[in-house]
């Protein structure tokens, strides 16, 4: 089975441009997560969805960031307008469910999108 698919793998854009990152989770997984990884801040959870509904977006850094999940097989993370400090690797992950209370199940990560904002 295919794992989590992300596109593009690399994105180079100029400050002020709109950037859209895409993710296809593993079929049958109910949860979808967006993370950002930088050297300074490590791996940070931005937002996650359960059954296409956003559950917690407290990690989204600013209003410039938005995420949608129109159906169970597709999600986007959009940055508008982009800034150089948004440069990072963005990961999408999915999991089957939350598991028993407060014991989160294994998250399966995509290969990431390396974003560079000039």
Q: Where does this chain bind other proteins (CB under 8 A)?
A: 4, 33, 35, 42-45, 48, 55-56, 58-59, 91, 93, 101-104, 106-107, 109-112
Dihedral sign (CA 74, 78, 115, 14) = positive
Which of residues 52 and 81 has its CB atom nearest to other proteins in the complex?
52
Q: What angle do CA 107, 88, 113 make, to 5 degrees?
A: 60
Minimum Å distance from CB 98 to other proteins? 9
Minimum Å distance from CB 96 to other proteins? 12
Which of residues 86 and 110 has its CB atom nearest to other proteins in the complex?
110
Cα separation values, 61 from 1, 66, 96, 98, 111, Å: 33, 10, 26, 24, 22
Which of residues 45 and 72 has its CB atom nearest to other proteins in the complex?
45
| CA–CA gap between residue 57 and residue 41 (Å, rounded) | 17
């Amino acid at each position: 089975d295919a794992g989590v698919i992300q596109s593009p793998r690399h994105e180079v854009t100029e400050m002020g441009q709109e950037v859209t990152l895409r993710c296809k989770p593993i079929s049958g997984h109910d949860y979808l997560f967006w993370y950002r990884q930088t050297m300074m801040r490590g791996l940070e959870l931005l937002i996650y969805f359960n059954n296409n509904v956003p559950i917690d977006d407290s990690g989204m850094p600013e209003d410039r960031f938005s995420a949608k999940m129109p159906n169970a097989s597709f999600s986007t993370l959009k940055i508008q307008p982009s800034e150089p400090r948004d440069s990072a690797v963005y990961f999408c992950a999915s999991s089957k469910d939350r598991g028993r209370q407060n014991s989160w199940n294994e998250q399966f990560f995509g290969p990431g999108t390396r974003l560079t904002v000039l």
